Amino acid sequence: MPFFSLHSIPGLSLILMLLLLILLCAALYLLGKTKEIKHLTANKKKTFDQQRLEEYLSNLDENKLHELIDSRHPAAQPPVNPKIPAILLILLSTLLSQTTSAQTDAPVTRSTLFSQPGILILIILILLPILFTIFFMGVRITRITRQYRQARDQSDEQQLDSYLGSLEPDAAENALEKRLHALDFTLQPNSLSGDAKPEDNKGLLHNIDTESAIAVAPVKKRAEKRPPIDPRLAKLILAYLSCAAGWLLLGTSIGEYIGIKFVAPDADHVSWLSFGRLRPAHTNMVFWGWASLGMLGLGYYIIPRVSNTSIYSLKKGWWTLGLINASVLLGTLCLMAGINNAGGEYREYTWPVMALFAIGLIITLQNFLNTVAKRTTEAIYISSWYIISAIIFVLVIVFIAYLPWWQDGLGETIVQGYYMHMGVGMWFMFFTLGIVYYFLPQQLNKPIYSYSLGILAFWSQILFYTVIGSHHFIFSSIPWWLQTVAIIGSVGMIIPVTAGATNFLLTINGSWSSVGNSYTLPFFLVGIIFYFTGSMQGTAEAFRSTNLIWHFTDFTVAHSHLTMYGIITFFLWASTYALVPRLTGREAPQIAIGTHFWLALLGLLFYTIPLMWGATLKGILWTQGKPFIEGVVLMAPYWLWRAIGGSLMWFSHIVFCYNMYRMIEGSGVFATSASQSPSQSKIVTNGILR
C-alpha cells in the first residue's frame, strides 16, 4: 500500500501533522511581525543631537561610514519585492495534490473516528485554506513591516544628513572619522591586565597563582562547613555509606553481566551464573544492600540533627549494620546456590535470611523513636515523619509477605503485588523523600517551600500507594474489584507526586543559579524530574488498556530502573556528596563527580528509552497474535542498547566508589577513638537547616 494514499492512515496522519506544524510556525511568524510593527509605530521620531549621533553611528558598519564620508546623501532604498518562500509553496502544493488525489481511492475500513481516512482528509481540507490565509497575511504583514522599517531608516538618514550639514565641516568629518577609527581598534592581549603580577590584598579572588580549571569542568562551589557532630556517629554513618557503595558496585557488576548475556546468551554454562540465579542476586543486592544501607546511613545523620539531640544509641546502629550486611551476604550466597523462597520478585530471600534484615530494622526503629522522643525541638520535622514511617511500613510488608498462612493460590499473588509495590513506594520512596526534605533545603540554604504540601504528599501517598499493588496483575484471576481499586489508587498517586515534585521545584525556584554552581544539586534535580515523570509513567501503566501492551514486556524493566535508579539512587548520591565532605573535611575531585553524573544519566537514558520503545513494539506484536519468537528477534537491537546503557551506569559506579575513597581516605574518621564525647550544636536557625 502506498504511504500517501487514501488507505494509509500513517500517511494521512503525517500530512496532518505537517500541516499543523506549518500552521503553528506561520502563527508564530505572524505574531513576531505584528509585534515588530507595533514596536516600529510606537517609536517616536527623535531629533539628532550629539548623543543621538553617537548612538546612531555606533550601529553603522565600515562601508556605511565610508559612504557617509564620501557623499553624505541618503542611500537609495531598495524596491519592495516580497518573495514567497519557495520551499513552503512546494511543500503545500505537494501536500494538496496528494490529499486531493487520495479522495478517489478505496472506502473507509476503520471505525474509530480519527482513524478514518475521510475524517483525516476533511480536517486537512479545512486546514489548507486557513493555512493559505495565514500565509498571505504573513506576506502582507512582511511587506508592511519592510515598508515601515525602510521609511524609518530613510527618515533617520535624512535627519542625520541635515544634522551633519548644520555642523561645522570639520566637526562632521571628525565625528565620522572618530567612529571609523574606533572600528579599526584591536585590543592587545595585555591591554586590560598589564604586565604586573596579580595581587589580591583584600582576598576577593581565588586561585590567582594556580592553573585555571579545565574549561569543560568548571569549578563548583565547595561544601560549606557545618556544626560538628559526634565523631563516633560520623564513623557509623560512613560505615553505612561505604558498605552501601560496595554493595552497589558488586550488585551492578552482576547486573552488567546479565545485560551482556542478553546479547551473548552462551557466554557461560555454569549453573551459578545462570540468569535465573543472577537476576534475583542483582536485584536483592541493590535493594537491600545498596539502597537500604545508604538510606539508613543518611537517616542516622538526619534524625538526630532535626531533633537537635544526639542519637539514642550508637551500639544499636552498629548492630543494624551488621545484621543487614549478614542478611545480604547470606541471601546472595543462597540465591547463587539455588536456595530461594520461590515466592515472587524481590521476595527470593528465604525467611531466616529476611528475618535478619527485619531484626536490624526493628532495632533501628526503636533507636530513631527514642531519639525523636528526647528531641529539644517543639515540632517533629517532616523528614522524621517520612523516615520513621518508612521503617514501620517495611516491617509490616516483610511480615505479611513471609507469614505462611496466606501463601497459597490467589492469596500469594495478591500478597506478592502488595509486597513488591509497597516495598518500592513505602520503603525506598518514602524514606528517600524524607532524606530530600532535609538535604535539598540544606544545599540551597533556604527552608522547604511548603510544609503543608509535604504533609499533603505524606498522607495522600499512604492513602493511595498502599492499595495499588494489584495493578501488576490486571486480567489475572484475582477479583476484578481489587484490580479496579488498584487502578484507582494508581490514579490517586497523581496527588502526592504532584505535591512533592512541586514542593521541591518551588524550593529551588529563585535559586536556579545555585544548580549550576553546585555538584550536588544536579543530582537532586534529575531525581526530582524522574520522580514526577517515572511516577506518572507508573500511573499510565496501571490502566487495563496499557497493561495489554506493556505487561510482561521489557517496559516494566525500564520503568523499574527509571524509578529505583533515576529517583532513589540519584537522590542517595546527591545526599552522599552533600554529607560526606562535612563528616570528613575532604571532597572528591569535581571532575570525577561530573564524570559520575553524566555516565549515570546517559547510561540510564540509553538503558530505558530503547527498552520502552522496543517493548511497546513487542506488546503490539503480541496483541496481533504474532509468534513469541518474533518479539525475541525484535528486541535483539534494543537489548544491545540495554547492555551499552548498563555499561555506562556500571562505569559510573566505579567512579562513585573512587569518589567515596577520596572523600574518606586520609580523613582519620575511622581512627577516631570511641572515648571521644559528642559535640552538639543548634542546627535550626530561622527555619534553615544547618
Q: How many helices (H) and strands (E) does the chain have?
A: 24, 2
Higher confidence at residue 407 or residue 462? 462
Q: Which residue has cell 540551597?
A: 444
Q: Is the pTM of this model over 0.75?
A: no
Q: Is the pLDDT of residue 684 over 60?
A: no
Pairing of strands 688-689, 684-685: antiparallel
Higher confidence at residue 89 or residue 649? 649
Closest to 141 (Cα-Cα) out of 298, 35, 25, 213: 35
Q: Is the pLDDT of residue 485 over 90?
A: yes
Q: Exposure of 347 by Cβ count < 10 A (0-12 exposed, 13-18 middle, 19+ buried)? A: buried
- DSSP element (H, E) containing 684: strand 684-685
Which residue intervals of 43-168 are DSSP H helices? 50-57, 62-70, 86-101, 117-166
Q: Which residue has cell 524514606?
A: 431
CA distance 355 to 398: 9
> Please, which residues have CB within 8 angstroms of residue 3's CB and are 6 or more apart in sequence?
10, 11, 14
Q: Which residue has cell 513469541?
A: 628
Closest to 178 (Cα-Cα) out of 274, 54, 350: 54
Contact 502, 572 (CB under 8 A): no
> Three-class SS of residue 623?
helix
- DSSP element (H, E) containing 236: helix 231-263
Q: Which amino acid is at 83?
A: K
C-alpha cell at 612: 520502552
Beta strands in 212-297 (DSSP E): none
Contact 496, 464 (CB under 8 A): yes
Contact 18, 95 (CB under 8 A): yes
Q: Is the pLDDT of residue 92 over 60?
A: no
Q: Is the pLDDT of residue 398 over 70?
A: yes
CA distance 514 to 33: 37
Which residue intervals of 423-469 are DSSP H helices? 430-444, 451-465
Contact 555, 619 (CB under 8 A): yes
DSSP letter at 270 equals -
- Provide the pLDDT for residue 452: 93
The model's pLDDT over 319-366, given as tens digits with 9 standing for 90+, comes to 999 999 999 999 999 999 999 988 688 899 999 999 999 999 999 999
Q: Which residue has cell 521545584?
A: 505
What does each C-alpha distance from 42 to 36, 37, 119, 519 come to in angstroms?
10, 8, 46, 47
User: What average pLDDT does range 259-267 have in this prediction?
Assistant: 83
The model's pLDDT over 517-540, given as tens digits with 9 standing for 90+, comes to 899 999 999 999 999 999 999 999
Which range has the worst mean pLDDT, 42-56, 297-311, 336-350, 444-458? Answer: 42-56
CA distance 267 to 317: 42
Contact 607, 558 (CB under 8 A): yes
Which range has the worst mean pLDDT, 342-356, 359-373, 404-418, 460-474? Answer: 404-418
Calculate ∠ Cα 476-559-456, nearest 5°. 90
Q: Is the pLDDT of residue 445 over 50?
A: yes
The model's pLDDT over 13-54, given as tens digits with 9 standing for 90+, comes to 667 677 777 877 777 777 777 777 776 666 545 555 666 666
Which range has the worst mean pLDDT, 28-32, 160-164, 290-294, 389-393? Answer: 160-164
Nearest-10 Cα torsion for 670, 671, 676, 681 = -50
Residue 685 φ then ψ, to 5°: -130, 115
Higher confidence at residue 41 or residue 161? 161
Quickly count: other Cβ atoms within 10 Å of residue 67's Cβ: 14
